[in-house]
Chains A and B, each alone.
Chain A
Amino acid sequence: GENVEQHPSTLSVQEGDSAVIKCTYSDSASNYFPWYKQELGKGPQLIIDIRSNVGEKKDQRIAVTLNKTAKHFSLHITETQPEDSAVYFCAASKRNQFYFGTGTSLTVIP
């Protein structure tokens, strides 16, 4: 089966700095890689995703990169703001099966 590893488990950055979260996966058949943001007491919210035929995708301050050869993908948040503080989950998916990372707790210090 698929195995998704996510690092770091916790991350603190100063407001305005960048944050990077990395994930690796094991199954080369995985072809869809979403990222979720979960705020306290809420459900995970899809913030950006990338498919295996694309190497990079950007949406305002958020970007995701995918290296299929190395089987890793990363989330980049630039110009971080306090409201970016949350737990972020990566996932790898194939044939409608999702495998989630263990989450990264991001704290943006004002």
Chain B
Amino acid sequence: DAGVIQSPRHEVTEMGQEVTLRCKPISGHNSLFWYRQTMMRGLELLIYFNNNVPIDDSGMPEDRFSAKMPNASFSTLKIQPSEPRDSAVYFCASGWINTGELFFGEGSRLTVL
């Protein structure tokens, strides 16, 4: 298996622009997580889905952030409008609900100027 695939790997944009991050989970996994990693705050859970349904989005910073999972093989995290404080590495991770194992992608490094 190719593992969790994220795109883009790097994104540089200007404040106010829309950013869309994409994730393809490992085939067969039924849970998907979006995390944000910064030096100051470490790994923060933004939202997670079970069987494509959002379960907990309490970590989403504000209304500028939204996430969708239209099917079992694809998810997006959108930031609109983006701000410099959104600069971070965003990770997608997938796993099986019952076993609890979690596998991370390589991340999308976002820089908002």
Contacts and interface: CB of A to CB of B under 8 A. Distances in A.
Interface residues of A, number: 17
A103 B101 CA distance: 19
Contacts of B50: 96
Nearest to A31: B100
Interface in A27-48: 32, 34, 36, 42-46
B105 A103 contact: no
B43 A43 contact: no
B102 A46 contact: yes
B104 interface: yes
B34 interface: no
Interface in A5-42: 32, 34, 36, 42
A18 to B, nearest CB: 25
B91 A44 contact: yes
A43 B91 CA distance: 7
A44 B31 CA distance: 17
B53 interface: no
A93 B42 contact: no
B100 A93 contact: yes
A34 B102 contact: yes
Interface in B12-61: 31, 33, 42-43, 45, 48, 50, 55-56
Interface string A50-88: 000000000000000000000000000000000000000
Nearest to B95: A96
Interface of A: 32, 34, 36, 42-46, 49, 89, 93, 96-98, 100, 102-103
Interface of B: 4, 31, 33, 42-43, 45, 48, 50, 55-56, 91, 93, 95, 97, 100-107
The list of the 7 closest CB pairs from A to B, nearest first, reads: A43-B104, A32-B100, A100-B43, A44-B104, A43-B106, A102-B42, A43-B107
